[in-house]
Amino acid sequence: MMTHILARLEEVNGIVGCFDGGAMPFEQAYALARFYYDFQDTNALIADAEAMAGDNPAGLRNTAVSLKADTAALLNNIGRLDGVDFREIANAHSRRYHAIFQEASDGLNPYWKRYCELNHRLDYLPLGSKEYAEAEKECEAAKAEHDRRQTDVRRIYEEYERESRRAGDVFSLKASHLYALATKLDGIAGSIMTDLDRMEKGEGR
């Protein structure tokens, strides 16, 4: 986690540092949300740092220095997010995918209706007749077309569900959450460097 967090924090700083107060794209909001949720358990980060201190203290120091600098940059720019309505970003994203699904679902109805009409017609044709065979063939073709389109609708619905779950992550995010996490990370980075200094001086951890 100690090394992975730096790349993610760089991405977050890029988003926050370039944000001009306009409309934030969903994918950027989602990246901020996932950073928060993936690293909010700072205890896991501390445990990883402790293990790294024994195996690679020099690497840990470099990571801590970078973490300190990157969190300072985030804290310096975090105020840019004060006006961001993450709930609305999430809702708009979910609505867009629901509209796509609804349109596809509505478009399926005529194909089902056509199949039902043809299937109903078979009940009034003599079994084994030429008319029955032709109608049956047409009915099968209508059913196949409906099933093909229904498969597409199901795929679109699965996409809608997936995007709704992603939107849920963004819906719960607040700028204050990121501020609190950045503050914690800044403190952890400072503590790591202090502990490493003590270890080098033989004062223990």
* 122 and 144, same domain (yes or no): yes
Q: Is there a single domain that holds both residue 177 and residue 165?
A: no
Phi, psi of 172 (to 5 degrees): -85, -10
Q: In the structure encoding, which two tokens stand for residue 163, read together?
A: 């995007």
- Is pLDDT above 80 for 121? yes
Please, is 203 exposed, middle or buried when counting C-beta atoms within 10 Å of its C-beta (0-12, 13-18, 19+)? exposed
Is the predicted pLDDT of residue 204 greater than 80, yes or no? no
Report the predicted TM-score, pTM, of the whole model to 2 decimal places.
0.85
Residue 171: per-residue pLDDT = 97
For the segment 166-198, what is each residue's pLDDT rounded down to a tens digit? 999 999 999 999 999 999 999 999 999 999 999
**Number of separate domains in the chain:** 2
Same domain, 78 and 114: no
pLDDT at 200: 83
Percent of the chain with pLDDT over 70: 99
Give a yes or no: residue 205 inside a domain.
no
In a domain, 28, yes or no: yes
Q: Is residue 203 over pLDDT 70?
A: no
* Tokens, residue 42: 């700072």
Cα–Cα distances in angstroms (integers) from residue 178 to residues 11, 49, 195, in the given order: 14, 21, 25
Going by pLDDT thresholds of 50, 70 and 90, the confidence category of residue 1 is confident
Same domain, 9 and 82: yes
Averaged pLDDT of the chain: 94
For residues 67 and 135, state if they share a domain: no
Q: Is the dihedral of CA 75, 79, 81, 84 positive or negative?
A: positive
- Is the per-residue pLDDT at 127 higher than 80? yes
Q: How high is the pLDDT of residue 3?
A: 80
Q: Give yes or no: residues 74 and 25 share one domain.
A: yes
Please report where in the chains the tokens 């950045």 appear, as a residue.
Answer: 182
Condensed to tens digits (0 to 9), the pLDDT of residues 45-93 reads 999 999 988 888 999 999 999 999 999 999 999 999 999 999 999 999 9
Could you tell me the residue range of the domain that residue 81 belongs to?
A: 4-86+173-200
Q: Are residues 26 and 78 both part of a single domain?
A: yes
Q: What local confidence, expressed as pLDDT, does residue 38 receive?
A: 95
Segments in 19-85 forming alpha helices (H): 26-39, 42-55, 57-77
The pLDDT, as a whole number, for residue 13 is 97
- Same structural domain, 14 and 79: yes
pLDDT over 50 at 205, yes or no: no
